[in-house]
Amino acid sequence: DAMVIQNPRYQVTQFGKPVTLSCSQTLNHNVMYWYQQKSSQAPKLLFHYYDKDFNNEADTPDNFQSRRPNTSFCFLDIRSPGLGDAAMYLCATSRTGGGYEQYFGPGTRLTVT
């Protein structure tokens, strides 16, 4: 089935140790998003790609970076994770244009020790 895949589902990293989260999609959608969701809170958009055009949210910390080497893959890099970065990280995709729903991956739960 066409879908959004995130690996790993659970990731443990040490304070300050760089970590990369992966997302891939078989939907051939041109827009990909990364959200951070903390417990009992709304998903918070970190950045999104419109094709190869990168769009960073104004309040996304510099500690968070992203790469999109091709249509199918997108990566979230956290350069120096802090305890406050422990959260669920959700990848989503959509087609261009208004009204197209976002399809979410299962998420990666990040723990920082």
Partner 1 sequence: GQNIDQPTEMTATEGAIVQINCTYQTSGFNGLFWYQQHAGEAPTFLSYNVLDGLEEKGRFSSFLSRSKGYSYLLLKELQMKDSASYLCALHQGGKLIFGQGTELSVKP
**Rule CB under 8 A: which residues touch partner 1?**
4, 31, 33, 40-45, 48, 50, 88, 90, 98-99, 101-107, 109
- Output the DSSP codes for 15-76: TT--EEEEEEESS--SEEEEEEE-TTS--EEEEEEETTEEEE-TTS-TTEEEE-SSSSEEEE
Q: What is the rounded distance in angstroms from the CA atom of residue 17 to the CA atom of residue 38?
A: 20
The CB-of-102 to partner 1 minimum distance in angstroms stands at 6
